[in-house]
Structure 1
Amino acid sequence: MQEILSPYTGKVTKLFVEAGTTVAVGEPLIEYNGNGNAAPAPTAAPAQAASPAPTTTGDVQYTKTGAMGRILAMPSVRHYARKAGIDLTQVPSTGRHGHTTLADVKAFESGAVAPVAAPTSAPVADVPKAEAPKVEKAPSVKAGAGDTREPMNPTRKVVSKVMTAQHTHIPPVTNFDQVEVSKLVEHRKTFKELAAKQDIKLTYLAYVAKALATTAHKFPDINSSVDYEKQEIVHHEHVNVGIAVNAPTGLYVPVIHEAENKSILQIAKEIAELAAATRDGSLKPAQMQGATITISNLGSARGTWFTPIINGSDVVILGLGSIVKEPIVNAEGEIVVGQNMKLSMTYDHRLIDGMLGQTSLNYLKSLLADPEFMLMEI
C-alpha cells in the first residue's frame, strides 16, 4: 500500500478505486473539490466548488515534508534512499517538476553533489503525513577544555548514513580464512619488473581482484543483487569490482568494470589510476557506479582479519588482509615457514547461504594459491 499526500486542500467527493486495488501509473484515484491552495486550512471550512474538480492520480508520489518543502519522488527512489540512509530533503533535484530521481540520489550518495543548504525563509506549512517513529537521540558530547570540534564533510556524512543503513538492514555473515601464497609471491617477483617497464605497479591487490572476478563469474549468485521491492534476484552480466580507497576527505569505492575480461596487468594499471584520481579529487561519479562485488584492503596497513560491511546493493565483500610468514605443514608433513594471506568474506545471508559462501571462498583460495591455475581459468 502506498500513501499519497495531496498537494491541495479540499474534500474528497468520489473514489475511483476500492482500497487494496493495484492502480497503474496515471490512473485517477480520487476526485475532490477545493480552492487550489497548497497549504491546508487550520480549521474546517465550507467546501468551495471547483470546475473541473481536481483528481489525484498514481503518477505523483510525495515522500515527506521537510524544511525545503514537499519532496517529489517515485517509490523506488524513496526505497533506495531509505535503504541507503539518505535524507531526501538534502538531495538536489533535477527531474521534471522538481522530482528527485534515482540518479540524483546516487550522485548525492557518491559525494558528487553537495547537500541542499537549509532555507532562511519561513518554513512551509505542515502537510498531513504518517507519524514518524520516535528515535531517541544520542546525548550530546561535552567538549573538554582542550577538545576541538570540526563539522563532518559531505563525504563523511554520506559514508556514515550508508554504513548505518547497510549494517541495520543486512544480516551479514563473515567467513574468516587464509591461503598459503608462496607461489603467488614468487609469481609477482618474476613479473614485477616487467610490469614496471610498462609503468604499471603490480600489487597483490590486482591478483586478488582478478581472482575475485573469476570466482564471481563461476559462482554468479555472489555477483547478484536483490530487488526486495519486486522480490527478484538480479543476476549481473558482468563482474564490476569495487575497490575501497581511503582519501583525505573519506572513503570512496571506484569500480573496475568488466573485470572478468581484463588481465591482471590491466587491472593493476586501472587500480593505480583510480586510486590516484580518488586521492587528488578528480574521480568522476561514473567511475564509482555499477559495482557488483567489492574488495576492502587492509593488507597494506598490516591488517589481518576484520568484518567488512557490504557495499551498496552488493551481496558480497572481500576483506583482504596482509601476507604473514607463519609455520605451516607442507605436503610432506614437514613444518616449514609459509606465507599466509588473511581473507575475510562478508555476505548477505538473505541470498547467500554458508555453504555457497565457503565454497566460493575455497575456489578463490585455489586461484590465489597458484597463479598458473588462475590463468588457466580465465
Structure 2
Amino acid sequence: MKEVLLPELAESVVEGEILKWLVQEGDTIALEQPLCEVMTDKVTVELPSPVAGVLSKRLAGEGDVVAVHAAIALIDETGGAAAAPAPAAPAAAPLSTQAQEEREQVGGSIVEAGHLQNKADDDSTSLFKAFSSDEKVQVQGLGARQPAAPAAPTQPTRADGRVLAVPAARQLARELNLDLAQVRGSGPNGRIRVSDVLAHQGINQGQAAATQTAAPAQAPAQTAQPAAAPAKAPAAGGMPVAPVQYRTPKGYEHLEDRVPLRGMRRAISNQMQASHLYTVRTLTVDEVNLSRLVEFRARVKEDAAAAGVKLSYLPFIFKAVAVALRKFPSLNTSFDEATQEIVQKRYYNIGMAVATDAGLTVPVLKDVNHKSVFDLAREVSDLAVRAQGGKLQADELAGSTFSVTNIGSIGALFSFPIINVPDAAILGIHSIQKRPIVDEYDNIVVAHMMYLSLSFDHRLVDGAEAARFCKEVIRLLENPDRLMLEAM
C-alpha cells in the first residue's frame, strides 16, 4: 500500500486545502494521473498520482487543510481489491478530531502538529506563516475547544532559554501581563498556543472550568448550540472571548443559503484577519495632478504599441513607488513578531492587487527597480491575465515588500486599503478625474487629478515619513520626464 503525501508545492508553503477529488475510492488510476485539486496561498494545482494502482482510501476530504508531507490517500499498487488501510504514523495522519472541530468552528487553517515537531520555536519568517497555524483564530476566545486532559505543566525551552510559544501567544501574554513560564503548553513539544494562554487566564479568573472539562467528542453538539452565557473577556487585553455566532431572523430561514468558507475565500479571510491582528493600520490621503503624465503617456503610446506593449498608468506608478521606497526605506520593511526585529529590505518587489471572479489575489512584480516602464507594462499585463485565468504560480504570489491596489479601476474615489502582511504599507490609487484647480499663477485650470491613500503600519512607519513618501511619489508622477531620469 502506497501513501500519497502532500508534497512541498512551493517554498515556504506548509499546508494545502483539498479543493476537489478527481477520482473516487476503488478507481483504477495511472501513473501521473491527477488525483485532486489542491490550493496553497491562492494557487490551485492538480496533484498527480506517484504510482499506478487502485485508490484504496482517501484520508482527507474536500475542504480539509492538511500539512505538507501529510498522507492524503492510500493507493494499492497491486491493482487488487482495496485493503483496509493501516493506521498512519502521527506525522502523516489526517487531521485529528479536535483539529477538525476547531477548523469547522472557526473556518481556520490547520497545520498538523507532527509537521511542526523538532523545529525551532517561532521559526516562521513571515507574519502570515506565523498566523497560519491552528491556534491563530483561538485568539477569539475561551469559547474555542481546549484539550480535554492537559498534560502536567512543563516549561519546554529553546536552546537560548526562551519558553516555547507561538508568536501570537507571546503577544497575548504581553497584553495580559502574563509570565509564559506559568502556562502549560498543549502544542507539539509542549509549545504554548493562544488557546493555552486564554485557558490559563480563564483558570485564574474562574472562567474556563467548564470549557476545560468538555470532552473533544462532544464538540459538534456544543458548537452547534448557542452558548448559555458568554464568558467574560479577560480583565486585561480587552479581547473577545467567543466566536461570533450568526442567528437567522425568525421566518427568514428559507431565504438564506450557507456556503462553506473554502478555497480562495478562506485564503483571503485568513490574510485579512492576519492583517487586522498583526498591524497597527493608519491612513494618509493626498492627491496628485497627473496632467503631465497623461500627456507623456499619449506621446509614447505609439512607441509602446510598436514594441507590443499595452501602456497603462500602472507601470509609471510602480516605478515612482520603487524610487520613493529607496528614499524612505521604512516603508519597505516587515516586522518579525517571533524575534521582535524590523526586517529592512534592499530589494523592491511590489504586489499588485487583482480582482478576479474567484476573489482578490496579489501577484508580485519582482525587482521593480531594475526594470524599464515598458518591461513593467509587459509584466503587469501578463500577471493580470494569468491571475484572471487562475494560472499564477505560487512563487508569483510571494515575496512582496510593498503593495499597490488600483481601486480606481472600478471608479472608487478613495479608500482605506488593508495592508498585505507582512508588508509595512499599501498604496491605493483611484480614479483619474478632470477637476478645476488653481495653478501656480492663480489661474483656474482643468487638471487630471487622482487621490492616493496610503495605509501603513504605525509600528514601523511614522506619520511624517508616510506623508513625505506620498509627496515623493506625487513629485515623480507630476514630472514624468524627471521620473525617467531617476537612478535606481
TM-score (norm 1): 0.68
**What aligned pairs does 1:106-117 form with structure 2 within 5 A after superposition?**
none
Residues 155, 132 of structure 1: CA spacing in aligned structure 2 closer, same or farther, 3 A cutoff? Answer: farther
Superposed displacement of residue 325, structure 1: 1.1
Please name the residue that 1:151 is paired with: 260
1:326 aligns with 2:369: no
**What aligned pairs does 1:84-233 form with structure 2 within 5 A after superposition?**
85-88=131-134, 130=196, 132=198, 135-142=241-248, 144-233=253-342
SS of the aligned residue for 1:282 comes to coil
Aligned residues of 1:184 and 1:370 also touching (Cα < 8 A): yes
Superposed displacement of residue 66, structure 1: 3.0
Please name the residue that 2:352 is paired with: 243
Residues 179, 80 of structure 1: CA spacing in aligned structure 2 closer, same or farther, 3 A cutoff? Answer: closer
1:70 aligns with 2:113: yes
Aligned residues of 1:71 and 1:89 also touching (Cα < 8 A): no
SS of the aligned residue for 1:303 comes to coil
Show structure 2 runs of 5+ residues with no match.
Answer: 1-97, 101-109, 137-185, 200-230, 232-240
Residues 79, 269 of structure 1: CA spacing in aligned structure 2 closer, same or farther, 3 A cutoff? Answer: closer
Cα RMSD (Å):
2.6
SS of the aligned residue for 2:334 comes to strand
TM-score (norm 2): 0.54
Superposed displacement of residue 299, structure 1: 1.3
Superposed displacement of residue 339, structure 1: 1.3
SS of the aligned residue for 1:345 comes to strand
Output one character per residue of 1:282-341: Cα deviation in whole Å (capped at 9) or x when no partner: 100011111000001111111121111111211111001111111100111011111111
SS of the aligned residue for 1:76 comes to coil
Aligned residues of 1:217 and 1:260 also touching (Cα < 8 A): no
The number of residue pairs the alignment matches comes to 280
1:290 aligns with 2:333: no
**What aligned pairs does 1:4-83 form with structure 2 within 5 A after superposition?**
66-67=99-100, 70-73=113-116, 74=119, 75-77=121-123, 80=126
Output one character per residue of 1:81-135: Cα deviation in whole Å (capped at 9) or x when no partner: 7776424499xxxxxxxxxxxxxxxxxxxxxxxxxxxxxxxxxx99987364573
Residues 83, 166 of structure 1: CA spacing in aligned structure 2 closer, same or farther, 3 A cutoff? Answer: farther
Aligned residues of 1:153 and 1:249 also touching (Cα < 8 A): no
Using the aligned pairs only, state the percent identity. Answer: 32
CA distance in 1 between partners of 2:481 and 2:125 (Å): 45
Letter in 2 for 1:279: Q
Show structure 1 runs of 5+ residues with no match.
Answer: 1-64, 91-124
User: For structure 1, which segment, 325-334 or 80-89, has the greater mean C-alpha deviation from structure 2 after superposition?
Assistant: 80-89
Residues 84, 164 of structure 1: CA spacing in aligned structure 2 closer, same or farther, 3 A cutoff? Answer: farther
1:307 aligns with 2:413: no
Superposed displacement of residue 146, structure 1: 3.2
Residues 374, 159 of structure 1: CA spacing in aligned structure 2 closer, same or farther, 3 A cutoff? Answer: same
